[in-house]
């Protein structure tokens, strides 16, 4: 039976990975190859045989670890979204001022983008909506809700502009993603001074 002939239920269920060291190596190689190709070509522009070629495994091997390309991309999405949120939110200074919290958020995103450039590109430079499963959507919702609550509390204290919170999220993330994109595509040098300048400029755009 070809992969496309699998039932819709099977296409959304992740298969348990073999527990041998060799199996873990193959699974890791598949995930890394898929991450690289999804960043280079997007989800819809990447075929499973191309992932297999990049991972140096047979196309059938991929289906021993992942029931479908959708299962594979959701594994990557949840892995890197959890890594990003862990980096950003761990020990977050909840009792600090809005300015200090914003600065911490910005610096942590910078560190993640520097340490995990492929992961950041995969998460933030592609539209994932068409293939996210329930677990991925729930993870995204939890992270979004944290940001919305942070903004609403800051607005209540009079620290941030009293506009739709999603608008402020869009301003901050749009600026951040745009900087990363210009660095990759146009050679913009993002040293500490550039990041600090950008951080202050964006703060001026959202503060009261």
Q: What is the pLDDT of residues 148-203, one digit of tens each?
A: 999 999 999 999 999 999 999 999 999 999 999 999 999 999 999 999 999 999 99
Structure tokens at 133: 């499963």
Cα(13)–Cα(198) distance, rounded to whole angstroms? 42
Question: What is the pLDDT at residue 11?
Answer: 35
Give the torsion through C-alpha atoms of 140, 180, 199, 168, to 10 deg.
-40
Q: How confident is the model at residue 126 (pLDDT cuts 50, 70, 90)?
A: confident
The whole-model pTM stands at: 0.85
Residue with more model confidence, 20 or 33:
33
Q: Is 91 exposed, middle or buried (0-12, 13-18, 19+ CB in 10 A)?
A: exposed
Cβ-proximal residues to 131 (8 Å cutoff; 6+ apart), any chain: 43, 70, 73, 74
Which range, of 20-29, 90-99, 175-184, averages the lowest pLDDT? 20-29
Query: What crossing angle do the helices spanning 165-186 and 117-124 adopt, rounded to 10°?
Result: 130
Place of tokens 């502009």: 161
Domains by residue range for the chain, with CATH: 3-67 (1.10.10.60), 73-206 (1.10.357.10)
pLDDT band at 125 (very low <50, low <70, confident <90, very high): confident
């Amino acid at each position: 039976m070809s992969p496309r002939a699998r039932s819709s239920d099977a296409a959304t269920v992740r298969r348990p990975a073999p527990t041998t060291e060799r199996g873990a190596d193959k699974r890791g190689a598949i995930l890394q190859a898929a991450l690289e190709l999804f960043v280079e070509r997007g989800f819809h522009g990447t075929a499973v045989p191309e992932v297999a070629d990049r991972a140096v495994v047979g196309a059938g091997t991929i289906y021993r670890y992942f029931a479908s390309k959708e299962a594979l991309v959701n594994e990557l999405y949840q892995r890197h979204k959890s890594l990003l949120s862990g980096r950003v939110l761990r020990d977050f200074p909840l009792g600090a001022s809005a300015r200090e919290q914003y600065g911490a958020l910005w610096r942590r995103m910078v560190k993640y983008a520097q340490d995990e450039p492929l992961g950041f590109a995969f998460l933030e430079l592609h539209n994932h909506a068409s293939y996210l499963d329930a677990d991925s959507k729930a993870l995204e919702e939890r992270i979004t809700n944290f940001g919305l609550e942070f903004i609403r509390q800051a607005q209540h204290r009079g620290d941030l502009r009293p506009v739709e919170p999603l608008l402020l999220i869009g301003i901050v993330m749009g600026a951040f993603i745009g900087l990363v994109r210009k660095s990759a595509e146009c050679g913009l040098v993002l040293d500490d001074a550039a990041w600090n300048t950008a951080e202050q400029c964006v703060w001026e755009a959202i503060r009261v």
